[in-house]
Structure 1
Amino acid sequence: MRQDEVEIIEREICYQGFYRLERLRLRHRLFAGGMGPPIVREVIEKGDVAAVLLYDPLRDEVVMIEQFRIGARDDARGPWLLEIVAGLIEAGETPAQVARREALEEAGCTVLDLLPISSFYTSPAKTSQRTHLFLGRVDSANAGGIHGLADEGEDIRVVRLPAAEALLLAQQGKTDSAWPLLALFWFAGQREAVRARWSLAGEAPPASA
């Protein structure tokens, strides 16, 4: 199906804040042929996101972050989730620029190189948002501390982990946010190739954990 096979009949903005909630009345073409009857759908519009798993290939460590998430407020383990650096893409920015900016703001890390992992709809049943996912090379030697922008209410703790431990947490279900899971599962299959690509000439990486 093509985009022109969807007819927007009516559009209503129900809420406008940090996010925008829209109610759409529409019709779309059916697989069996012809246009279907009008249906109503609500969508949350909040802009596209860049997210990056930070990795030091020489130390074989990942740099992740821990922060409060309102959606996990009733979780028995608490609403502080182990995540990766991420941020909304503003007008005029590229996903790569945002990945680098957010790495510095949220984790105090300078990205030395970026590898694209994937670009995908975050939750297409309720939002048009796309996530642009990266792996970023960093020096994790001094990673740590509390970061984030105070005027945005951010309180972000940097977590430095051996790569093997981070992968184990994901496999055990202890990392339960989508972006880090996708990044870590991709990384699990690409880890050795990435280390070989990013290892400095004449400097062998330490043995894997």
Structure 2
Amino acid sequence: MASDRIRIVEERVLSDDWFLLKKTTFDFRRNNGSWQRQSRETYDRGNGATILLYSLAQRSVILTRQFRFPTYVNGHHGWLIETAAGLLDHATPEQRIQSEVEEETGYRVQQVRKAFEAYMSPGSVTEKLYFFVAEYDPASKVGAGGGIEAEGEDIEVLELPFDTALAMVERGEIVDGKTIMLLQYAALRLFGTMS
């Protein structure tokens, strides 16, 4: 992707262990036409997808709870309530989220609907996240979920009344950005509860 306002001067790999951390020096042409040299670090972990499973009949949602070390070192207890999510790993967003939701929650969904896509932390992380919703029913539960132990996953599956999940956002019990965005989308577009 070329731009006549960006000229890359130097790229340096700082870490290529778990994901790729680079420091890039570039010249940026400002709105007034002048050039300014800048330097940024970018963390490239690939793109991902997330999904909110919902039931209109039961007015409920399926969420997960798992330990997230980065939140722990930032003063949180570390146990986040989230929508199922995963990195694309060379699959399409639709393919990946269907396998990820079954792996994490035990629910198999045939039809997923894309809600939107967003960059979650564009100041330093390259990841674009694809947001999906899908309706579930008790018959779509085909396994226990819980994630993959070899990948360090130890996921608890939660079925919550939709209104309870929204209240948990207000009380600060759900603090994961992607989950808050999908719950708000559901309130506006699926359950019709936001005014």
Fold shared, TM-score > 0.5 on shorter chain = yes
Unaligned runs of 5+ in 1: 194-209
2: CA distance, partners of 1:190 / 1:45: 32
Partner of 1:67: 66
Residue 205 of structure 1: aligned partner? none
For structure 2, the 5+ residue unaligned runs are none
Aligned counterpart, 1:122: 120
Letter in 2 for 1:29: R
Farther off after superposition, 41-50 or 55-64: 55-64
* CA contact 1:61–1:140 (8 Å) conserved in 2: no
Equivalent residue of 2:101, what SS? helix
CA contact (8 A) 2:51 2:131 kept: yes
CA-based RMSD of the aligned residues comes to 2.0
Change (3 A) 1:192 1:135: same
Aligned partners of 1:16 and 1:132: how far apart in 2?
A: 24
Amino acid at match of 2:177: A
Tell me, yes or no, if the aligned pair for 2:63 and 2:81 is still in contact at 8 Å.
Answer: yes
Match of 1:103 in 2: 101
8 Å contact from structure 2 (residues 106, 145) kept in 1: no
Separation of aligned partners in 2, 1:127 and 1:67:
22
How many pairs were matched up? 190
SS at the partner of 1:192? coil
Instruction: Return the alpha-carbon distance in structure 2 between the equivalents of residues 15 and 120 of structure 1.
Output: 25
TM (normalized to structure 1)? 0.84
- Asked if structure 1 preserves the Cα contact closer than 8 Å seen for 2:51 and 2:134, the reply is yes
After TM superposition, the runs of 4+ consecutive aligned structure 1 residues lying more than 2 A away are: 74-77, 140-146
Q: Is the 8 A contact 2:14 2:22 kept in 1?
A: yes
State the distance in 2 between where 1:58 and 1:90 align. Answer: 34
Amino acid at match of 1:110: R
Q: Aligned letter for 2:125?
A: T
User: Shift in Å at residue 173 of structure 1?
Assistant: 2.2
Structure 2 CA distance, aligned partners of 1:77 and 1:125? 22
Label 1:76 to 1:124 Cα distance change in 2 as closer, same or farther (>3 A).
Answer: closer
The Cα shift of 1:143 comes to: 8.4
Change (3 A) 1:164 1:43: same
42-51 vs 26-35, which deviates more?
A: 26-35
The residue aligned with 2:162 is 163
Q: Tell me the equivalent position of 1:199.
A: none
Q: Give the drift of 1:112.
A: 3.3
Structure 1 residue 25 corresponds to structure 2 residue 22: no
C-alpha separation in 2, matches of 1:170 and 1:140: 25
* TM-score after normalising by structure 2: 0.90
Which has the larger displacement, 62-71 or 130-139? 130-139
